[in-house]
């Protein structure tokens, strides 16, 4: 993922579409469709099978991630992934962080992006580790993220 960030309007629509069934659930689909297509072009949404339906991509989830949202890209049968998950679990609990585990094999884009790099760990929208986690560094990063979350009121 690159450093592009959605503006306030885009962020609001991404959040709304994360729980919506279709654009019509949010309002006038003809007004919202160009905005949704813009988010598709950014790589933050993908079209779903149903008319005027969209879903967040992995990058869409990352741009909405808060400072204490941790995303672990993994795959079944990956011993390094299992090791990373068990090592970070106590740190996440102490920090009050939320883990979102993503199977890269369920998404062609993610499989292509991370195929030989799992596990890949993101803190908020920033990649902080791949292959192995430096636990001391990750603990410092979590502490800093906790300070940011408190300072921003979240």
Question: Domain ranges in the chain?
Answer: 8-62, 65-151
Top-confidence residue, 134 or 16: 134
Helix (H) or strand (E) holding 12: helix 8-19
What pLDDT shows up at residue 50?
A: 86
DSSP per residue over 38-78, as a string?
A: HHHHHTSEEE-SSTT-EEE-HHHHHHH--TTEEEEEE-TT-
Helices of type H across 78-134: 79-95, 108-114
The answer to whether 23 and 30 have CB atoms below 8 angstroms apart is no
Which residues, including other chains, have CB under 8 Å from residue 62's CB and lie 6 or more apart? 1, 71, 122, 124, 125
pTM, whole model, 2 decimals? 0.83
Distance CA 149, CA 46 (A): 29
**Structure tokens given for 26:** 């949010």
Give 89-123 pLDDT, tens digit per residue. Answer: 999 999 999 999 999 999 999 999 999 999 999 99
What pLDDT shows up at residue 100?
A: 95
The answer to whether 151 and 143 have CB atoms below 8 angstroms apart is no
Give 27-76 pLDDT, tens digit per residue. Answer: 899 999 999 999 999 999 999 888 899 989 999 999 999 999 999 999 99
Helix (H) or strand (E) holding 103: strand 98-103
CATH superfamily of 65-151: Glutaredoxin (3.40.30.10)
């Amino acid at each position: 993922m690159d450093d592009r960030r959605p503006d306030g309007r885009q962020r609001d629509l991404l959040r709304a579409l994360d729980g919506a069934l279709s654009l019509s659930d949010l309002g006038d689909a003809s007004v919202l469709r160009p905005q949704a297509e813009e988010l598709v072009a950014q790589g933050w949404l993908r079209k779903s099978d149903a008319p005027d339906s969209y879903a967040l991509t992995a990058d869409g989830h990352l741009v909405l991630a808060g400072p204490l949202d941790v995303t672990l890209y993994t795959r079944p049968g990956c011993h390094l992934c299992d090791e990373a998950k068990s090592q970070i679990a106590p740190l996440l609990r102490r920090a009050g962080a939320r883990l979102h585990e993503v199977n890269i094999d369920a998404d062609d884009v993610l499989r292509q992006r991370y195929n030989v790099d799992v596990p890949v760990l993101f803190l908020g929208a920033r990649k902080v580790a791949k292959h192995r986690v430096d636990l001391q560094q990750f603990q410092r990063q979590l502490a800093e993220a906790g300070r940011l979350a408190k300072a921003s009121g979240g």
